[in-house]
Structure 1
Amino acid sequence: MKHYLLVPILFLCVSILPAQNLDLSEFEWKNRVLLTVSNSNSSSLASEQMTVFNSNAKGFKERKLILFEIQAERYRKITFNDTSSIKTDWRYSNKPYLKYKSKKANFKVLLIGLDGGIKNTKTNKIFTQADLFTIIDGMPMRKRELRKKQ
């Protein structure tokens, strides 16, 4: 009989825990953020996009890029060092997906600038590395970063 009481109590405890939300404000003025948003973990566009993004970790690090892979019920953060990407564990929440998903597309990529504003969006298309780097390298703050390096 005691076991029958334990299940509803456990369910109640889990259901009142706050859902994990994705707060991008902590990256403002420090990092550019890329969001890939797909409605499933088997999206071929999402897989192809991740392959493109993982192909040049050094270029991503130089441009201060952080990537969030968002799926319908989960998300994770991916950072880059000089040679590879570092993936955090999946966090389970549908809030980021509901906030950033496209109403008309199954896959979307958003580029968010240092100021926190959305700079570019692609729906049902992938960002090539060349397109992404051209957009970023044309931004005023990136141009300033490049001048400071010289």
Structure 2
Amino acid sequence: MNHLVISFISPDKPGLVDKLSHTIKQYQGNWQTSSLHHLSGFFAGIIEVAVDEGQTDALKNALNNLPNFNVTIEVATALSPKSPASLVLELTANDRPGIIQEISSVIHQQGGNLLKLVSSQESAPHSGQDLFKAKATITINKDALAPLVTQIESLADDLMVDISH
């Protein structure tokens, strides 16, 4: 069994997920994990699909030939080992250029590994100022957690970090 990691972008229109899932099913692929988003008139995502080795090339060709899809596919022949326990950092701050780079740099410097990042920009309820909000799933040695939070919070006076598991 191969695992395909498929990333794509397409101009948004109804039926894109149906088209993708139909193509995957047609080659006996099993849609396992995904993250799909509408972004500024485009639909983009990343999907992990398990597929029999004998169907891998045919599925890759079918996905690459979908009209109006820009697709990148990587093949993994073995599953990744189980990752260490993870935790979620919920981050809120006034938005500004470079905030993702600053946060990811601190996570890296503290020995953490960023597994997933979902971010958004929203208007603050009272001031209307742009707020940065993110959920970052990371793995990190528990001894490094307190210094990590301290360092992230020191990036800006208004940056708040909540931790969940």
Fold match by TM threshold 0.5: no
* TM-score bucket (shorter structure): under 0.3
Q: TM-score, normalised by structure 1?
A: 0.27
Higher helix share: 1
Higher strand share: 2
Choose 1 or 2 for highest CA Rg. 2
Q: TM-score, normalised by structure 2?
A: 0.25
